[in-house]
Amino acid sequence: MVEVRLEKVTKKFKELVAVNGLTLTVKDGEFLVLLGPSGCGKTTTLRMISGLETPTSGRIFFGDSDVTYLPPKDRNISMVFQSYAVWPHMTVYENIAFPLKVKKYPKNEIEQRVKWAAELLQISELLKRYPSQLSGGQRQRVAVARAIVVEPDVLLMDEPLSNLDAKLRVMMRAELKKLQTKLKVTTIYVTHDQVEAMTMGDRIVVMNQGKLLQVGPPTNVYLKPNSLFVATFIGSPEMNIIDASITERKDGLYIEGSGFVLRLTDDFRDLLRDYIGKDIYLGIRPEHMTVRGVSTLEHVNKSAEIEGLVDFVEALGTDTIIHTKVGDNIIKIKIPGHVPLPIGENIKIEVDLDNVHIFDRKTEKAII
Ligand code: ATP
């Protein structure tokens, strides 16, 4: 187990900058998730950490050792990919034993270790089978067993669950997380699935266009996104983003937009001083609003009220999403349980002011 450090790592493929000045420390034993849309540079980052790709500039350290130019075989890393990459001509036992054989472990230690890994992944009964006799989920367990059997310093996983069906994915998500917690192996996990990132990562790194946008524990990133991109990339249904402006009246500051005026409490004044009279984006997550008389917001210190018209209702079973027309905006409100509001009904929307986000129009960075 080891700490992994990237210092100003850049990777160019001809003109294309796939990873752009990435600086990041993955703590010893941490489960770090690289999250971002397709093409943002996650896999390239992982491949540079593995040694399959060399940075154009910058350095990569495992503990105190500079591994930037070290080949993969000298790094004590293991990788698990989306395609299970188990060898079809080998039994499950032989697949798991393979990396140990390459490293010339003695036969009895190979046996012990394969047994240990197979038990951890609950595939002990499958050791004699060939991959063609396994389900997708079982094959991926074999791939994970083969990855951990050498007790790597760093475990690298690239979308390992994306070939599994939805139910199996949810199950394997929890199992992989439990396994990593048990083994305490430094793990870097690539995904574009925000739910996977939120549920598995000790910390998540949100990337876009080769750059690191934000890093932190999932809840921090969710509740305090530093930019419009992060705010809208994480969360489902996504955060409502509303065109608005900050205005000042005799009795204080307001956020005004089409069809609504939100009175802000005085503690916003310092933060918004430079934005008075300017256009901003207002961000509110669907669960940080409710409909008066239907449900109440919990643990809320400050709230404000706006009016709307029910436009459409999505009943999800556990929650209801109320699409509400407020001026020219359609705002989604998420309410726990089944809320059969009639379309066209006038409603009063309570907004949790502790959880409103305000973004600069030009830089798209969070002001609040
Ligand atoms: P995905 O989720 O789709 O796998 P990603 O975030 O992992 O995407 P990368 O695979 O790291 O993204 O790719 C980053 C950028 O670098 C993309 O524009 C991709 O087309 C480009 N790229 C990756 N590998 C190469 C290569 N070997 N040669 C040229 N361009 C490449």
Report pLDDT digits (tens) over 133-183.
998 889 989 999 999 999 999 999 999 998 888 888 898 899 899 999 999
Distance CA 73, CA 27 (A): 22
Distance CA 240, CA 231 (A): 9
Kindly indicate the confidence band of residue 36, based on its pLDDT and cuts at 50, 70 and 90.
very high
For residues 57 and 10, is the Cβ–Cβ distance under 8 A? Answer: yes
Selection from 12, 195, 196 nearest residue 187 by Cα? 196
- Nearest residue (by CA) to ligand 1, atom 18, is 39
Please report the pLDDT score of residue 8 as a whole number: 98
How far apart are the CA of 183 and the centre of ligand 1, in A? 30
Distance CA 247, CA 260 (A): 12
For residues 278 and 319, is the Cβ–Cβ distance under 8 A? Answer: no
Selection from 312, 181, 18, 105 nearest residue 114 by Cα? 105
Distance CA 22, CA 35 (A): 14
Burial class of residue 125, CB neighbours in 10 A (0-12, 13-18, 19+): exposed
Ligand 1 in reach of 41 Cβ (< 6 A) = yes
- Asked whether residue 62 carries a pLDDT value surpassing 70, the answer given is yes
Selection from 317, 283, 287, 282 nearest residue 299 by Cα? 287
Ligand 1 in reach of 286 Cβ (< 6 A) = no
Residue 109 main-chain phi, psi, to 5 deg? -70, -35
Q: Which residue has the tokens 């993955």?
A: 26
Please report the pLDDT score of residue 162 as a whole number: 86
What would the mean pLDDT of 216-236 be, rounded to a whole number?
97
- Average pLDDT over the chain, rounded to whole? 94
How far apart are the CA of 162 and the centre of ligand 1, in A? 17
- Asked whether residue 215 carries a pLDDT value surpassing 90, the answer given is yes
How far apart are the CA of 8 and the centre of ligand 1, in A? 18
- Nearest residue (by CA) to ligand 1, atom 20, is 39
Selection from 137, 140, 146 nearest residue 117 by Cα? 146
Nearest atom of ligand 1 to the alpha carbon of 40: 6
- Nearest residue (by CA) to ligand 1, atom 1, is 38
Kindly indicate the confidence band of residue 238, based on its pLDDT and cuts at 50, 70 and 90.
very high
Ligand 1 pocket, mutate which of 6, 12, 13 (most atoms under 8 A from CB):
13
Selection from 46, 49, 60, 50 nearest residue 8 by Cα? 60
- Nearest residue (by CA) to ligand 1, atom 17, is 39
For residues 30 and 187, is the Cβ–Cβ distance under 8 A? Answer: yes
Q: Which residue has the tokens 């937009």?
A: 257
Distance CA 75, CA 226 (A): 34
- Nearest residue (by CA) to ligand 1, atom 16, is 18
Please report the pLDDT score of residue 266 as a whole number: 87
Residues 275-315 have pLDDT tens digits of 999 999 999 999 999 999 988 888 888 889 999 999 999 99
DSSP code of 11? E
How far apart are the CA of 112 and the centre of ligand 1, in A? 39
Ligand 1 in reach of 191 Cβ (< 6 A) = no
- Asked whether residue 1 carries a pLDDT value surpassing 80, the answer given is no
Tokens of 27: 């703590």
Please report the pLDDT score of residue 84 as a whole number: 67
Distance CA 139, CA 130 (A): 10
Nearest atom of ligand 1 to the alpha carbon of 41: 11
User: Tell me, what amino acid is at 340?
Assistant: P
- Nearest residue (by CA) to ligand 1, atom 22, is 18
Q: Which residue has the tokens 């907004």?
A: 351
- Nearest residue (by CA) to ligand 1, atom 5, is 39
Report the predicted TM-score, pTM, of the whole model to 2 decimal places: 0.93
What would the mean pLDDT of 19-35 be, rounded to a whole number?
98
Please report the pLDDT score of residue 208 as a whole number: 97
What would the mean pLDDT of 73-77 be, rounded to a whole number?
93
Domains, the chain, ranges and CATH?
4-230 (3.40.50.300), 240-360 (2.40.50.140)
